[in-house]
Amino acid sequence: MSQIRIGILGGGYMGKAHSVAMSAVGAVFNTGLRPRLEMICASSPESAERYRAAYGFHRSTHDWRTLVKDPEVDAIVIATPQEIHRDIAEAALALGKPVFCEKPMGASIDDSAAMVAAAEASGVANMVGFNYIRTPASQFARQMIADGEIGDITWFRGEHTEDFYADPETPASWRTEGMANGTMGDLAPHMINAALALIGPITRVMGSYETVHKSRPGGRVTNDDHGQMMCRFENGAMGHMYFSRIATGRKMGYAYDISGTKGAIRFDQEDQNAIWLYRAEGREAERGFRKILTGPAHPDYEPFCQGPGHGTGYQDQIIIEARDFLRAIETGAPVWPTFRDGYEVNRVIAATLASADSGIWTDIRDF
């Protein structure tokens, strides 16, 4: 075991999640590289110091450049707003420091393309944080599909639906401003990443999105409340995705239904310890969707619990990300998802927005 000194940029929700993960990953996984919480950066000296004490870092700063350049910081975790993802990543990569960047990667498709270029030029570990995909359930789905266990995929339906803006009286905030914080910017990346990981590249899209509640107490809303997209995958499958922050009653509706010629898979993150599998085999009278509870037999499960049925929580996925980032650094081998994967997600979003803006629909009155 040798020590690796971690610098985290951003002390908010994701900053805390990654700090806790880096604290715990060593004991949980008996990793080769043991992280040390070296330095945390936040927007003011006071908040940075507060986070330092709360999360157990050695030092703090309010200047990201200071953190990136610090000779005792070996690797970087970016949990800041997207506007400075690119600058931070380019600076760190130029110094040969591995970078883990929270999704969505960069403030624009150009930013993310530049980040890919910098990462690939540097040759060091680069990784994007799409944490939901890391449940044992979704990793199992990915493996089953890749192994052909449900045959050729014919249909993918995904959604990422929540209801934190379902009430028209919920006040405007930073969340209701800027494309990056709307559903196409904030929620879509997770499910598009899942679609690409589970089914493969997307070739064509046709989308639609809108702001349902155009003003809220405290201000106007300048980004979208929900959006949808029909798509075609390179392997021929047809698909549909829906993203919403106004899906009343949905708390973590990160869900997909997948049909193949030999079976089907269904998942909903609201019951993240289960995955549903149907196999079109055996006698007809015994066929049905199986509710499989994830356990030691599934990918990325064992280290947490030696017994089955113990359940995985959100923080567990963040610890898995920490483990994988450390592995990427240790071995030098790329670990999915790399910056390039993050860029592919952004590309699908850009195409969807463009197709929606083109406004081509068929009027029912013509029939």
Question: According to the binding rule CB under 8 A, does residue 200 interact with a copy of itself?
Answer: no
Judging by beta carbons within 10 Å of its beta carbon (0-12, 13-18, 19+), is residue 63 exposed, middle or buried? exposed
Q: Are 360 and 213 in contact (CB under 8 A)?
A: no
Instruction: For the sheet with 33-41, list strands across it.
Output: 59-61, 33-41, 2-9, 75-78, 99-102, 126-129
Question: According to the binding rule CB under 8 A, does residue 72 interact with a copy of itself?
Answer: no
Q: Which of 146, 235, 290, 331 forms a contact with a copy of itself (CB under 8 A)?
A: 290
φ, ψ (nearest 5 deg) of residue 122: -75, -30
Q: Which of 212, 216, 330, 334 forms a contact with a copy of itself (CB under 8 A)?
A: 212
d(CA 92, CA 101): 11
Q: Which of 180, 304, 334, 336 forms a contact with a copy of itself (CB under 8 A)?
A: 304
d(CA 340, CA 49): 34
Question: According to the binding rule CB under 8 A, does residue 292 interact with a copy of itself?
Answer: yes
Number of residues that bind a copy of itself (CB under 8 A): 115
Angstrom distances, CA of residue 75 to CA of 9, 13, 36, 79? 11, 20, 10, 13
d(CA 77, CA 65): 13
d(CA 240, CA 352): 12
Question: According to the binding rule CB under 8 A, does residue 186 interact with a copy of itself?
Answer: no
Q: Which of 3, 173, 235, 358 forms a contact with a copy of itself (CB under 8 A)?
A: 358
Question: Which residue lies nearer to a copy of itself by CB, 100 or 343?
Answer: 343
Nearest approach, Cβ of residue 160 and a copy of itself (Å): 11
Single out the segment in contact with a copy of itself by CB under 8 A; choices: 67-75, 204-212, 321-329, 332-340: 204-212
Residue type, 279: R
Question: According to the binding rule CB under 8 A, does residue 166 interact with a copy of itself?
Answer: yes
Q: Where do the DSSP E strands lie in 172-237?
A: 202-210, 215-216, 219-220, 226-233
Q: Where do the DSSP E strands lie in 83-193?
A: 99-102, 126-129, 153-161
Residue 359's region, left for phi above 0, alpha for psi from -120 to 50, else beta, is: left
Q: Which of 168, 171, 218, 332 forms a contact with a copy of itself (CB under 8 A)?
A: 168
Question: Which residue lies nearer to a copy of itself by CB, 58 or 290?
Answer: 290
Question: According to the binding rule CB under 8 A, does residue 117 interact with a copy of itself?
Answer: no
Tracing tokens 């405007």 back to the chain, one arrives at: 172
Footprint on residues 23-52 left by a copy of itself (CB under 8 A): 23-24, 26-28, 30, 34
Question: Which residue lies nearer to a copy of itself by CB, 65 or 204?
Answer: 204
Q: Which of 302, 309, 331, 332 forms a contact with a copy of itself (CB under 8 A)?
A: 309
Question: Which residue lies nearer to a copy of itself by CB, 93 or 153?
Answer: 153
Question: Which residue lies nearer to a copy of itself by CB, 333 or 360?
Answer: 360
Rg of the chain, C-alpha, whole Å: 21
Q: Are 337 and 171 in contact (CB under 8 A)?
A: no
Q: Which of 74, 90, 162, 186 forms a contact with a copy of itself (CB under 8 A)?
A: 162
Footprint on residues 124-143 left by a copy of itself (CB under 8 A): 140
Question: According to the binding rule CB under 8 A, does residue 58 interact with a copy of itself?
Answer: no
Q: Which of 195, 205, 221, 326 forms a contact with a copy of itself (CB under 8 A)?
A: 205
Question: According to the binding rule CB under 8 A, does residue 94 interact with a copy of itself?
Answer: no
Q: Which of 105, 116, 246, 322 forms a contact with a copy of itself (CB under 8 A)?
A: 246
